[in-house]
Each structure stands twice: as structure tokens, then as C-alpha cells.
Amino acid sequence: MNTIICGLQWGDEGKGKIVDFLTEKADLVVRGQGGNNAGHTVIAKGKKYVLHLIPSGILWDKQCVIGNGVVLDPVGLCREIESLEAEGVPITPDRLLISDRAHVVLPYHRELDAAREMSLGDKKIGTTKRGIGPTYADKANRIGLRLADFRDPAKARELIETRLEEANRTLEHHDLPTFRAGDVLVEVEAAIDRLRPHFTNVIPVVHSSWKGNETILFEGAQGTFLDIDFGTYPFVTSSNTTSGGACTGSGLPPTAIDRVVGVCKAYTTRVGSGPFPTQNDEIAEFFHSRGMEFGATTGRPRRCGWLDTVLIRYAVMVNGVTDLAVTILDGLDERETLKICVGYNIDGEIHEFPPAERDHWDKVVPIYQEMPGWQQSTSGCRSYHDLPAAARNYLARIEELTGARVSYIGVGPDREQTIIR
Ligand code: GDP
Ligand code: IMO
Ligand code: MG
């Protein structure tokens, strides 16, 4: 049974925790897109881990793969490996395989990311400044470097020199420091050498796992509305975060996929700029005062709001969600009344789906349905029937509005605080 786990909102839905929970019964965990813009939190045996590039499966001594669709920052990955190893999690070449087709995030990508953001002024995307956009842009422009290119350092140097001709012109234009190929290589050399034993052609490995009827999990990064095609463009990331990205990013075909678990919070959050119709400052204050909803990668406070089922319904369709995982239900425990957005009013017209036109987002007036809260703690609940009736009604309403079955419910950040229905 091979399962894609993907986010249905704007990222940070709790994918890391759900992947960790499902990994116990898996053989292989694969990341197929994104980079270290992701921050996946797992709390296991009282210890907190935040994973950026390494699949969350690593905490279970399972084999993990970083696929061709990921953009890989070698220095960032080495830092992550060191911090996991310091926590007693060994990262050996047989446990972490990295596709030699993955594109490499280089120091100038991060500078170009920052330069673009600066020049956008108050229209900035609010990126994680990890160089993700410029690295995917180089891939699409056919001027990127893949890990395989570093097998021949002289060739890598030549490719970087060519790329820098244009990149330096852009940086000069922004009065930013330019790069020399030699310095770029020096900066990444040690990291590349450290990672070299992990680089491989992962295709035979993932295919033999599939053909051997092993269980493969695909760990999505970001969320549906950050998807470059289906998200709130241009306020998106630069990869396909929806389920299709798992296939193109790993080399496993759609016929290998049995199930898609869509992860959504019981409410909505977003980091960075862009539309967010159900945003609500009072709810943000409610979570922030409890130390919740700060970004796992950048530490930025997340914007917060009510659950938006216009988004979830659409996300269920484009991802082919077979099962919903609703996380942080416990986050709503204290609330007296809950609101669910069931439709968008745009210029007096009712819309059931998110608009494509950028200026329509500013005009969205959410149509809300109110539901009673349960005002008791759910964090100790371990079965669906332990949940208060009002919580079960809330979940049932999500199912009605989105057309997907709620199969997992998160009632706390710990591994154990997950209900299987
Ligand atoms: P990801 O990027 O989708 O993996 O999510 P993040 O790790 O960025 O953010 C999710 C946050 O919610 C983390 O701090 C998790 O520890 C926490 N979390 C996940 N599931 C639950 C849950 O069911 N209840 C509570 N209270 N926290 C949760
Ligand atoms: P996980 O996997 C939340 C957001 C950034 C910004 C936009 C583009 O933890 O859910 P980028 O650096 O990718 O070019 O930034 O996307 N973003 C995320 N928001 N969770 C993430 O990952 C994100 N990765 C990128 O905040 O708005
Ligand atoms: Mg996150």
C-alpha cells in the first residue's frame, strides 16, 4: 500500500506528524519536491525534531529517499544531518539515499531570492529566503546544476561560471555582492563531499521496493495553495506540492499509488504574504498567546483563521484525496463557537471554488456556518468515540462539505496523540 501524504492548505498542516505516525508500518519514505523551505515537526518520545530536507521516516530507522524533484541545499542538509546525529539519529548512506538528479541550491540562489523579494517591496511573496524559487527557475531555464554534475568538479565549475555571468549582472543591478565560481565551489565543496556517498540513481531502489510489495510513503512538503499551478499564484512556492508532484519528483509512476492522505488543520494558517479570506486576528492572538503557530523554519508568527472548506474541497479534488487527516483539533478545545467557511461571495456572486484571477481574492467575502464548540479537552482522547459529540459533529460537517472521509484526527503534537478512525 503506497500512500502520498500532502498538505491541503498553505503548509504546516502537521504533515510531519502524520508521516511519522504512518511510518511505523512503512518500508520507505520519499520526499519528491520542495527543499529546506519545509519545516516538519515530529515529537517522538518527548523529543522534538524539526526536519527540513530529510524525510520524517528517518526517526524510525526506515530507509529514506530524497527524490529528483527536491531542490537540495548541500550545506543546509549537512547541518540537518549533524543536528540529527547529535540527537542520536544516525544518517548513514544506506538509510538516506539522494537522487543524483536533484537540483542543487547554491549560495547565489539564496541571494537572488533575497534580491527578488527586495525589489518586490510591499508586493513581496514572503519567501523563506532559502533560494527555492531561483533554483527551480534555473531548472526550468536549463541552467541549473544537478548533484550528478558535481561528480566532475571541473565540469561543475564551468557550469557555475556560465551561470554566474547572468546571475552577477542581476546582483550588480541590485547593488549586491557578486560571486566567483571558485568561491561558490569552496563554500559547498565540503558539504558535497560529505554527502557524496548518499548520491545515487534511486530509481532501481524505489522500483524494487514497489515491485516487492513494500510500503512506500511519500512525504509532501508545503500545501495545495502553495502549489505553483493550483495555489494562490503568485503567492506560492515553486514546485507542485499536490499529489502529482510525488510521482514526477520520485520516478514512481501514478500506477504505484494506492492512497492519498490529505492533511488539514481544524482551522487555517498561512506564513508569508498572499490571500487568506478567513484570516482572523483574534484567533491568531489566541494561538500565539499559547505559544502556538510560529513557523518551524523561519520562526515567523503564522497568520491564523477559520477553517475554509472552499479550499479543502478543491484540494480534495486536485490531490485525489482518499483520506483526510484533520490535525490540531485540540487547538479548538476552548472555543465556544466555531466558524466554517462554506462558500465565497465575490461581487455578489456565490463561488464554490477558489478563483484564478488574482484581483478576485481581495473581493472574497467568506460565507460562514457557525457550529457549537465542545469546550473540553480532547488531548487525552484515543478513539473517535472518546471525542465530544460537538467535535464529532464538526468533523462530520467537514466530511459533508469536502466529500472526503476523516480517517485520522490529531489531538496533540505527540506521536501518540493521533486517533485512527
Ligand atoms: P508540517 O510542515 O505540515 O509538518 O507542520 P509543522 O510541523 O510546520 O507545523 C505543525 C505544528 O503543529 C507543529 O508544531 C506540530 O508539533 C503541531 N501539531 C501537529 N499535529 C498536532 C495536533 O494534532 N495537535 C497539536 N496541538 N499540535 C499538533
Ligand atoms: P511545510 O512543508 C508553510 C511559503 C513561504 C512563502 C511561499 C514561498 O513546512 O509545510 P519559498 O521559500 O518556498 O519560495 O516561499 O511559500 N512556504 C511555506 N509555508 N510551510 C512550508 O513548508 C512552506 N514552504 C514555503 O512562507 O509564503
Ligand atoms: Mg512546516
Q: What is the pLDDT of residues 175-218, one digit of tens each?
A: 999 999 999 999 999 999 999 999 999 999 999 999 999 999 99
Rounded Cα distance between 328 and 380, Å, is 13
Q: Is the pLDDT of residue 61 over 90?
A: no
Find the mean pLDDT for residues 63-78.
98
* Residue 171, pLDDT score: 94
**Ligand 1 centroid to 18 CA: how many Å?**
9
**Cell numbers representing residue 98 in the block:** 539522494
Work out whether strand 63-66 and strand 3-7 pair parallel, antiparallel, or are unpaired: unpaired
Any atom of ligand 1 within 6 Å of the Cβ of 113: no
**Ligand 2 centroid to 172 CA: how many Å?**
27
- For the domain spanning 3-99+198-260, the CATH number is 3.40.440.10
Per DSSP, the three-state class of 287 is: helix
Any atom of ligand 2 within 6 Å of the Cβ of 17: no
Which one is catalytic: 20, 40, 198, 330? 40
Residue nearest to atom 6 of ligand 2 (CA): 127
The answer to whether domain 103-195 has CATH 1.10.10.10 is no
Per DSSP, the three-state class of 407 is: strand
Rounded Cα distance between 364 and 368, Å, is 12
Find the mean pLDDT for residues 306-324.
98
* Residue 298, pLDDT score: 84
**DSSP symbols for 362-404:** TTEEEEEEEEE---S--TT--SGGGS-HHHHHHHHHHHHHHS-
Find the mean pLDDT for residues 346-355.
96
Asked if 258 is an active-site residue, the reply is no
Nearest to 323 by CA among 1, 53, 78, 4: 4
**Cell numbers representing residue 392 in the block:** 464529532
8 Å CB contact between 163 and 138: yes
Asked if 100 is an active-site residue, the reply is no
285-304: pLDDT as tens digits: 999 999 999 988 888 899 99
**Ligand 3 centroid to 38 CA: how many Å?**
5
Rounded Cα distance between 191 and 150, Å, is 11
> In Å, how far from its chain's centre is CA 103?
18
* Residue 296, pLDDT score: 84
Any atom of ligand 1 within 6 Å of the Cβ of 39: yes
146-175: pLDDT as tens digits: 999 999 999 999 999 999 999 999 999 999
Fold of 264-420: Adenylosuccinate Synthetase; Chain A, domain 3 (3.90.170)
Any atom of ligand 2 within 6 Å of the Cβ of 231: no
* Residue 297, pLDDT score: 83
8-state DSSP, 150: G
Rounded Cα distance between 80 and 86, Å, is 10
8 Å CB contact between 302 and 270: yes
Domain limits, the chain: 3-99+198-260, 103-195, 264-420
Q: Is the pLDDT of residue 22 over 90?
A: yes
Task: Output the average pLDDT for the chain.
Answer: 97
Q: Is the pLDDT of residue 281 over 90?
A: yes
Rounded Cα distance between 118 and 138, Å, is 20
Report which ligand 2 atom has the smallest distance to the Cα of 296: 9
Residue nearest to atom 25 of ligand 2 (CA): 37
Report which ligand 2 atom has the smallest distance to the Cα of 300: 26
Any atom of ligand 1 within 6 Å of the Cβ of 293: no
- The single-letter code of the amino acid at 5 is I
* Residue 397, pLDDT score: 98
Nearest to 331 by CA among 368, 302, 366: 302
* Residue 357, pLDDT score: 95
